[in-house]
Structure 1
Amino acid sequence: MAMEALHLVKQTGKACTGSVIFLHGSGDTGQGFLNWVKFLMGSDFGLPHINFYFPTAPLRPYTPLGGSTSNVWFDRYNITPDVPEHIQTLESIGQEMKGLIGKVADSGVPLNRIVIGGFSMGGALALHTAYRFSPGLAGAFALSSFLNNNSVLYSNVKTRDTPLYMCHGDRDTLVPISWGQNTFQDLTKLGIKGEFTPIKNTLHEIKQKEIEDLFRWIEKVLPPVENK
């Protein structure tokens, strides 16, 4: 199934030398996630040298909703790390992500100047994309996300050089912080370097300081470069 609408927030300067792909959580849309980030950062958010992409997941049957359709990146057998991954839909969306990243690269931004990340399910897909589907990216981030205990990613890591940024609400009841911590620990055991930050008094949501800290991290891994 192909992705739906793609929203773009263009750089505010003269040239684009970096790109960030934001992936929304289950049941959301690219526009909805963009509106959320704008609310937290201010309606005129942006960086002079970076394009921000907000794609929308395909509308597909989602098992945790009893098979009802929803905008989800891939299917899950259940919302828990204790079950197998739904490999068919995960592999399918992985090819879609490779295509999107290819289009961004074709626009003139090389792989090592592209960051991918997301919230909840979007963060999980970002991890698969950065470390398995499209190695060579500048960075990956996952907000309130987790991987299944026996994720196919753990045995198929294609790169360990992409820096990782993870954060998680310490009061999250939908995706407990321990799931995110375990994912981060499993990835670091494989040689992936990064940071994990608990967000105090936070449920399954994004807070203003959290997104502000994320943007500072993005600026660190995608600093301005002289346009040649």
Structure 2
Amino acid sequence: MAVAQKLQRCAVSQTGKHSASVIFLHGSGDTGQGLRAWVRDVLKQDMAFTHIRVIYPTAPARPYTPMRGALSHVWFDRYKISADCAEHLESIDSMCSLLGSVIQEEIRAGVPKHRMIIGGFSMGGAMALHLACRYHPEVAGVFALSSFLNKDSVVYQAAQGRRGQPLPELFQCHGSADELVLHRWGEDTGALLRGVGMATSFHSIPGLNHQLSLMELERLRSWILKKLPPNSPSNGQ
């Protein structure tokens, strides 16, 4: 299915000089506006920074096989929600190309790739791993919340092929009670990426199901600031 050439998005602008960017991808069936509202509801305020713009793109609606072909805002198609099946690479690669335009817009705004982080919730986290590890490994980091990669994912092959070269650091959070995306799928994803040379950290959130929590968003915010500090020598400040 052909998708629109311009992704809708919303953003939380920095309050000072724009020197870094975060691209935060929603889960299946959500939108960028919906994810921003969810984050704001959990934090009781926007995830905002003095120097970092936070961008929430929206996936175009497309037929989604696990919903029997019904239209949904999903980043790519899946044959089924399982770690054991093949990836739908045609839809993944098509969306990587579209999301690349968001990255290029930030570059034109004066933000280099090493001052960007890409991440997401659920399907958004898997999409972020494909985008960062396969197409834009120069970014500062990638985060995956309640997310997983298929066991035979080409992301592992891409990371393996970059041994000895820079790879983005991975930050993961996963609820221990997640019944949709099993906790062990997230753990296995992190372990396999560590095995091919990627620096990773995995945070298990006790009792959390398939949702965002205050604890993980606070940890994520701290990690983002560590990777994208406001006074980095590389950004000329």
Q: Normalization by structure 1: what TM-score? A: 0.96
SS at match of 2:151: coil
Change (3 A) 1:85 1:91: same
Report the counterpart of residue 25 of structure 1 in structure 2: 27
Matches within 5 A, 1:59-208: 59-157=61-159, 158=162, 160-208=166-214
Cα offset, 1:123, TM superposition: 0.2
For 2:119, give the aligned amino acid. Answer: G
Cα offset, 1:17, TM superposition: 0.7
Query: What is the rounded CA distance, in whole Å, between the counterparts of 1:44 and 1:218 in structure 2?
Result: 15
Q: Normalization by structure 2: what TM-score? A: 0.93
Equivalent pairs: percent with the same residue? 45
Change (3 A) 1:175 1:44: closer
Q: Do residues 9 (structure 1) and 12 (structure 2) align?
A: yes
Task: Count the aligned residue pairs.
Answer: 227
Query: What is the rounded CA distance, in whole Å, between the counterparts of 2:7 and 2:93 in structure 1?
Result: 17
Residue segments in structure 1 that go unaligned for 5+ positions in a row: none
For 1:11, give the aligned amino acid. Answer: Q
SS at match of 1:156: helix
Query: What is the rounded CA distance, in whole Å, between the counterparts of 1:104 and 1:211 in structure 2?
Result: 23
Residues 12-66 of structure 1, C-alpha deviations (whole Å, 9 max, x = no match):
12x1111000000000000000001111122354110100000000100000000
Residues 98-138 of structure 1, C-alpha deviations (whole Å, 9 max, x = no match):
12111111110000000000000000011111111112001
Choose which of 51, 57, 67 in structure 1 pairs with 2:53. 51
Kept in 1, the 8 Å contact 2:9–2:32? The answer is: yes
Deviates more, 1:200-209 or 1:35-44: 35-44
Query: What is the rounded CA distance, in whole Å, between the counterparts of 1:65 and 1:184 in structure 2?
Result: 28
